[in-house]
Amino acid sequence: MPETNKKIADKLEYYPKNVQMLATYAIEQAKRINAAALSQLLEQETKKLVRKDMAK
Amino acid sequence: MILKKMILDNFRQFQGQQEINFNTSTPSITIIYGTNGRGKTGIFRALIFCLFGEKSLAQDENINIKDINLVNTQALEKSDGKPVVAMVATTLVHENKTYEIIRKIRGLKEGSEIFEEGFELTLVKTDEQGNTAPPIKDKTTINEIIGNIFDPKIKDYFLFDGEKIERLTRADVQQKKTVAQGIKNLLNINDLENAINGMKSLLNNLNAQLKIHSQGKFAQVLNAIATTNKSMEDNQIKQETVSAQLDAAEKELRKYDGELDKINEIKHVITQRKALLAQEADLIETQSSRIDLLRSKLTGTAASLLMPIIVKVYSQLDTKKQTGEIPVQSKLDLIDKILKDHRCICGTTVMEGSCEYGLILKWKNRIVDSGLSDNALNLWRDLNAIIKETPGTIDSVHKALIDYDKNQIDVTQIHEQLKKISDQIDDSAEEKAKGFNQSRDKVNKDIGSYKNQVRVLEQEYQTLESKKVELTRQKEKLQEEEGIKDELHACAALATDTNEALNNIFNSFTEDIKKQLSDLASSAMKRLLDEEGKWSLKRIVVKNDYSLQVHDHRDEPFLANISAGQRQIVSLCFITALAQVATGKDRFEIPLFMDTPFGRLSLEHRENLIGFIPQICQQWIIMVTDTELTEKEWNFFRKVNCNCTFYKLSPLADGTTKVENIPVDEALTSIQAH
């Protein structure tokens, strides 16, 4: 079986840090919950990342 | 993983306990040989049932799962209404550990109905030192262990039947689904797909919130984006609906094709019956004309019965005619003149009272009855005609009678043949075929309409996508112009970028895997095709819509033109490529279990396949019918450099099947016995 997660991480390296973090978080959470519940979690995570960015 | 042993107990056709010891050398071939209905698929079913608890196979798509019974029906008949347990035990070796999986199902027959329920699953593990752990009974734990050895998601690429091979060659929705699912399973990208869906949902939420907080032109653009998103979602739903309708219609079409195939099997008998009926009609017409002929000859035929009398009367009349007695050679008026003139035409005086006068008078009296003379002459003529014609009439009547008799034998034989055919086939077969053809035509039209709808929807979706790209560009421009940089916009921007990144990765994965599959399948195709095929077919391509295509030597799409055998080769190449990609190795370490794979292959293709599979797979278990394995194919197997085990499925008197291990040296005799 191809090492999917490793390959995804490799491919994400070419994207900005925030995108990498949000995408990794989305895939991790997607393993255990459905798309609707995932959307709420992602909104919180997105806001967290944006606020951190804006605070810089 | 290597399959070591399988024990079947009261499972399907196999009454009582029977055992198959697979060849475990690497590489190896285990051949399971049997005529149709002997239980080859039953063995395949046993493996799927034992490892994954599944009752149905791909080929059961039109069968209700309740109608699939795994418990041996003869054992149920003998049980007097008591439950009967069927069992499959599979022993396999994985990473030097031995696993024995035992799955049982209980069946009960009530009247004509059979009820079944699975009720026991056990796994026994023995490590490399030979230490056996206590049996595990917990289903979840067992399924996890089996899943780690043999991921159920990829089982389809190692265990497949003829139906699955056949399905891949069809250019329909089912084929695309099979290929797409195969690729997604191989990539293990379900989590990635779920993440993309979650991200899409987040984007919609954020855009909805932005819409509430925005005014003016920016609001219009956001509104347009939301409307476009909604249209795209609606389009996707419509596409799914139409695809489902298309899928159902294609299933129905296959059902009709299946029925027509069955009728086609007896088509030659129907054609024979038609020919016999035409022949019978011709014969009956000929008989009728012979009867007319006999009727016309009836008078002549009757005359022939009186022929001796006719000949006798004719002879007498003829003698009289010869002597001039009939017809009378002189005229009455001439005699009267002689008597009146008392002078004969020779000049002699004929006086009244003289002897000459008396003779002439007597002559006259005889001639007076000239009507009688005419009648005699007519009778002479008629009899003459009858005598002349009768021999010809007798000959023609005799010939007509012989012909009639011969024809009648033919008619009787044809009747007998027609009766035999009627016993074989249903009189309504042709009517049914007509009905199926009509239904098939209708479904085919529906399929055309659905395909057209899908095409239109796909085009609409592409237009909407372009519109969305343009609107997003406008939105970003307005954001910059109006200096809107609040948190919501930043969140939406991050979500948009992340969504794009995930989509790019997903596409990149699928593109990579499509290319790998195309390359491996093309390489296998070059090994398997015959010389003509190698020249004319260049490569197998997995298209963007997940359908399979074959390119010809000019690199042009050519799938529509290839033969049924070549289609099967394309499917086999794709399946072996999937298996190779799944294990990530050139020779995969999972058994390749094939049920009747040679169906449409030519002899050369069979030889190539038999030589090729052991090179890419360490354990090949193949189930073949008597039409697939003859002396020729057996010789191909013997030429392959790997160990071989041969099992034969033999019928028993009660309709059950016995599994017999035949030594390889005796296998050919067993094959030839068929």
What is the full DSSP assignment across B78-132? Answer: HTTT--EEEEEEEEEEETTEEEEEEEEEEEEEETTEEEEEEEEEEEEEE-TTSPB
Supply the mean pLDDT for chain B.
85
Q: Which two tokens stand for residue B161?
A: 């039947």
A with B: how many residue pairs have Cβ under 8 Å apart?
101
Identify the pLDDT of residue A2: 46
pLDDT tens-digit map of B382-419: 888 888 777 777 778 888 888 889 888 988 898 888 88
| Mean pLDDT, residues B76-101 | 93
Q: Comparing C-alpha atoms, which of B83, B117, B93, B113 is closest to residue B103?
A: B117
Lowest mean per-residue pLDDT among B154-163, B545-554, B636-645: B154-163
Residue B650 parent element (H or E)? strand B643-651
Residue B220 pLDDT > 50: yes
CB of A10 within 8 Å of any CB in chain B?
Answer: no
CB contact under 8 A, B202 and A53: no
Q: Using a pLDDT cut of 90, give the percent of chain B over it.
A: 28
Residue-wise pLDDT for B441-496, tens only, equals: 898 899 889 989 999 999 999 999 999 999 999 888 887 766 555 788 889 999 99
Average pLDDT of the segment spanning B281-291: 86
Strands of B84-94's sheet in order across: B14-21, B2-11, B84-94, B97-110, B113-126
> Do the Cβ atoms of A4 and B192 come within 8 Å?
yes
Alpha helices in B529-658, H assignment, sequence order: 531-536, 564-583, 603-616, 631-639
Q: What is the pLDDT of residues B102-113, one digit of tens each?
A: 999 999 988 878
State ipTM. 0.94
Split at pLDDT 50, 70, 90, the class of B86 is very high
Question: What is the distance, to the nearest Å, from the Cα of residue A7 to the centroid of all Cα atoms in its chain?
Answer: 15
Q: Which helix (H) or strand (E) holds B240?
A: helix B216-265
Residue B238 has pLDDT above 90, yes or no: yes
Local structure of B638: helix, strand or coil: helix
Test mutation, B196, B498, B503, B507, chain A, max A CBs within 10 A: B498
Chain B, nearest residue to A55 by Cα: B487
Q: How far is CA B146 from the centre of its chain?
A: 36
Determine contact: B490 vs chain A, CB below 8 A.
yes
Query: Residue B53 pLDDT > 50, yes or no?
Result: yes
Stretch (H or E) spanning B98: strand B97-110
pLDDT of residue B660: 94
Please report residues of A whose CB lies closer than 8 A to that of B582: 1
What phi and psi, each to the nearest 5 degrees, are found at residue B479? Answer: -55, -45
Whether the pLDDT of residue B333 is over 50: the answer is: yes
**Which pLDDT does position B169 carry in this prediction?**
65
Q: What's the confidence (pLDDT) of residue B68?
A: 86
State the pLDDT at residue B663: 93
Are A26 and B195 within 8 A, CB to CB?
A: yes
Report the residue from A8, A41, A47 with minimal CB separation from B192.
A8
Binary contact (A4, B186; C-beta < 8 A): no
Partner A contacted by B197 (CB < 8 A): yes
User: Looking at residues B72-84, what average pLDDT do you find?
Assistant: 89
Which 8-state DSSP code applies to residue B505? H
pLDDT tier, B4 (very low <50, low <70, confident <90, very high otherwise):
very high
On the question of pLDDT at A46 being above 50, the answer is yes
Which amino acid is located at B504 in the chain?
Answer: N
Return the amino acid letter for B264: N
Label residue B422 by pLDDT band (50, 70, 90): confident
Q: Residue B277 — φ and ψ, nearest 5°?
A: -65, -40
How much is the mean pLDDT over chain A? 85
At B163 the pLDDT is 65
Q: Is the pLDDT score of B240 beyond 70?
A: yes
Confidence of residue A1 (pLDDT cuts 50, 70, 90): very low
Segment (H or E) for B591: none
Would you say the C-alpha torsion B34, B38, B41, B45 has a positive or negative sign? negative
pLDDT band per the 50, 70, 90 thresholds, residue B118 = confident
